Structure 1
C-alpha cells in the first residue's frame, strides 16, 4: 500500500506577514496538497501600530490581539515557541518551545517572517533602565508604570523626587515614538486633574531623536505640523540629540543635559530578528537578502519577508532600494509570498512583489493627526478620519473591528480612565526583560544539533 507524504510548509512568525501568508495558504491550498505549521510564542496576531493607544488606555489590550485559535476552520498546526536557528542544508528549523524543550521541525518549504526586535546601542544603562514599546506586555506595563508615577509623586513629600516622577523621556522620532509621546502626554494631562496636590506644570514630556527631522518620511510640511501639535501640548522636542547614559532616576543626553526621571521609553527603531544571522546566508543590514519573489537565491523552497527580509522595492527606480519594514508591506507580502509558495509547489512560475504606496498615517490622539494618503497631505480631523479608518480596515477580524470601534467611541464620550492594574507597575520590565536576543544558536550549534538529531 502506497503512503502519500504531503509536503510540509513551515511558517515562522505570527505578525502581519506570517499570519497573512498562513491564512492565504489555507484558503488556496487543498488539504491534501500540504501540511501547514506556524511557529509563534503567542497564539495571537498583534496589531502593532495601535500599541501607543493601548499604552494610553484608549484601547484595551485584547482589542488589538487577534486570537489565532478563535475559529475552528483553520487547519494550521500552531507550534508554541520561537525559532532559534535554521539549517538550510538539512531543511530543519530549531524551535525552543514555551516549555523550554528544544525540537527540530523539518520542512519542505519554509516562510521566514520572524519580524524585528528593538534596535539598541551600546549606551551605558540603556537595557537595564529603558522601557520598550514592541510587545503587548510592554504597552500594558507602560500604562501601569506611568499611572503609578503620578501616584508616587502624589504620595512623596520630597520635591525633587516628585519632580523626577513627573518627567518622562521618549527616545525616537519615528511613528512609534511620536505617537507614544503624543498619546501618553494626553493621558497624564487629563489624569493630573484628578490629583489636586500635583502641579500640572511639573509634568514634562521630552521627545528626542538623533535625526534632524521628526518623521522625515512625511515630508517637511507634515513633519512640521506634527511638531507644532506636540509642542502645543507641552512636549519638549530635541532633534540631533540622543542618550549618553541612563540610570534608575536620571538620564543624560548627548548635549550634556541631565534629566531627573524614572521613565525612559526607547523607540529608536528596529532591527531584523537575530534568527536571520543563523542561516549563514547573505544579509543587508541584518535583513535576509532575497529576490523580488521573496525567495532565497540558491535555496529552493526558502522564502523570507517582512521586517526580517531585504525585499527589493520594484516600485522605485533607485538601484538597490528595499521595502521599508512597515505593516503595509508586511500584509501585502504575506499574501504574495503565499501565492509564490503555491506556485512553487505546483511547478508554476513565481511573480515578483510590486506594490503601490498607499501613504502614511500618524494618529496623535484626540482630533489631532497628520496623514498622507496617496500623496495627499491632510491635517486635523480629516487626517484623523483617514488614520483611524485605515487602522480599522486593516484589522483582520470583525470581532477586533467591533472592539476597537467601541473603545474609540467610549473614549470619545467618557474620556480617559486612570485605573492601573497594579500587577506590573512594581515588577522589573525593562528592555532586557523582553528582548531575548541571546536565545539564538550559532550556525555551528545548529549543524551539530541537526547532524546528531
Structure 2
C-alpha cells in the first residue's frame, strides 16, 4: 500500500544510480535519518565513475576501480536491481525488470528521476551495425579487447591493406570522451605493437573526427588549443568539420570529400541523449529531457523530482537556457534533489538550483592534461596534478586503489591481454542499457 505524505515513514524512490541518482539517494538518506525509507533502483549494484572510463579502455585502470559498490557507499539505502520501464505518476508506482527478467513494482511517496542518458544516435548508414559507443564498463572492456585483438591480428595478416586497416582507429566526436580516448589511444597501441616484431615499421593511425570547428567545442578555447596540440604531437589526425557519411565492415566513408578510410574500429563518442524512459512518461519534455522547475520538481507533480541528464533544469546563470549534460551539474542537482524531496514532505522550504561551473579537467594521458580550475588555465604537469586530484576527490570510493593503479601504470608495462569477456553483440550502439536491454516482452512475473 502506498503511504501518504503524513505517514511517519515516507518512502523515497530514486531511479538511476549515476551521478545524479547516487547523490540524490545519499542526500535524502542523510536528511531523513531513521524517519523514512530510501530505495535506489539501478541495473547494476555499482556507481560508475564515468570520467575515468577511457583509462579502463586503454588498460590503465582495472574496471573495478571506477565501479563503486552502491550498498557500501550508500549505507541505509535499499538497493533494488532492475531497469525501470514503467512509471504511473497518478498511482505513485514504478515498474521494473530485474537482471533475470522478472517484473517488480515499488510504491513511493516521493520519486527522483535520474535515469541518465544513453548513446546519441545519428542517421548515418551502417553506424549502428559497425560502431560501438562508450557509456559503460561492458563497452570499455569490449573496446580494450577489440583494440588488442586488432593489433595482434594485424601482426599475422599477410595482406598489407588488411594490416593497415586493422591498425587504423577512428574516433567520432571530439568532446570530453572522444578527445580523451584519441589522446590516450596511441600510447596503448604503441605498447601493444612493441611486443610484435611484425609491426616494427607499421604505422598505427588514430583519427579524430567531429563536425565542430575545433576539439572540445563549447569549452574554453585555451583548453581546446592545449588538447589539440597534444593530440597532434602524438600523431593523431585531427579532422574537424568532418564526420562519417557511411560505415561498413571494411571502413568508413567521410563527409566533405574526405574519401574512404579502411578500418575495423569505429568508436562512437558523439554525445548522449536522455534515457528513452523519460519520453515514455507522457510528461512535458524538451529535447527528450523532462521539464522541471528551478527546484527540480516536475510541474503539476510536486511528488516527482528529476535531475541530471534526464532533466531540462533551468540555468539561472543563463536565463532562457538549461544546464548542460555534465557530471558536474548532475552531481550537484542530485544533491539538491535529495534535499528537496525531503523538504517537500513539509520539513523545510524547497531551494532552487543555481550553480556556476567551477571549471573543467581533461586527462590526455601520460603527463598531459588540460584544466581550468576556477577559470585558471593550466596545461602539462600542473594540469595533470589538478585533474587527478579532482577525480580522486570526486570519487565516492576506491580512491587508494585508483591511485595505486596510476602508480603501477607509471612504472610497469601494461598487460597486453584480451579476455573476450564481452562480445560485440552484447554492446550494440542502439540500446538503452548495455547491461539489461529494455525488452518488455522478455519480462515475466516471478
Match of 1:15 in 2: 18
Please say if 1:405 is aligned against 2:403. Answer: yes
Q: 1:156 corresponds to which residue?
A: 157
Query: How many residues align structurally?
Result: 433
Q: For residues 172 and 130 of structure 1, what CA distance do their matches in structure 2 show?
A: 12
Q: Which runs of 5+ in 2 are unaligned?
A: 441-446
**Cross-structure match for 1:414:** 412
Q: Tell me by how many angstroms 1:438 deviates.
A: 7.6
SS at match of 2:106: strand
Change over 3 Å in CA distance of 1:392–1:438 after alignment to 2: closer
Q: What do residues 370-397 of structure 1 show as CA deviations (whole Å, max 9, x unaligned)?
A: 1111111111111111111101110102
Secondary structure of the corresponding residue to residue 71 of structure 2: coil
List per-residue Cα deviations over 1:404-438 (Å, max 9, x = no partner). 10000111111433222233367664314675798
Residues 345-360 of structure 1: pairs in structure 2 closer than 5 A? 345-360=345-360
The alignment's C-alpha RMSD in Å is: 1.9
Give the drift of 1:219.
Answer: 2.3
Contact map agreement 2:431 2:437 (CA 8 A) in 1: no
Q: CA deviation at 1:333?
A: 1.3
Matched ranges for 1:9-408 at <5 A: 9-31=12-34, 33-70=35-72, 74-256=75-257, 257-314=259-316, 316=317, 318-397=318-397, 400-408=398-406
Secondary structure, counterpart of 1:192 in structure 2:
helix
Q: Distance in 1 between matches of 2:201 and 2:409?
A: 22
Quick one: distance in 1 between partners of 2:319 and 2:385? 36
TM-score, normalised via structure 1 length:
0.91
Instruction: Please tell me whether the aligned partners of residues 208 and 241 of structure 1 are also in contact (alpha carbons under 8 angstroms).
Output: yes
Q: What is the rounded CA distance, in whole Å, between the counterparts of 2:32 and 2:439 in structure 1?
A: 32
Q: Deviations over 1:241-269 (max 9, x none)?
A: 11111111211111231111110000001
Contact 1:251 1:260 in 2 (8 A): yes
State how far apart, in whole Å, the 2-side matches of 1:427 and 1:100 are.
19
Question: 3-state SS of the aligned residue for 1:384?
Answer: helix
TM-score with structure 2 length normalisation? 0.93
Native 8 Å contact 1:118 1:271 kept in 2: yes
Deviations 1:115-174 (A, max 9, x none): 000101121111111011100111011001100111101111111111110001000010
1:275 positional shift = 1.0
- The answer for unaligned runs of 5 or more in structure 1 is 442-453
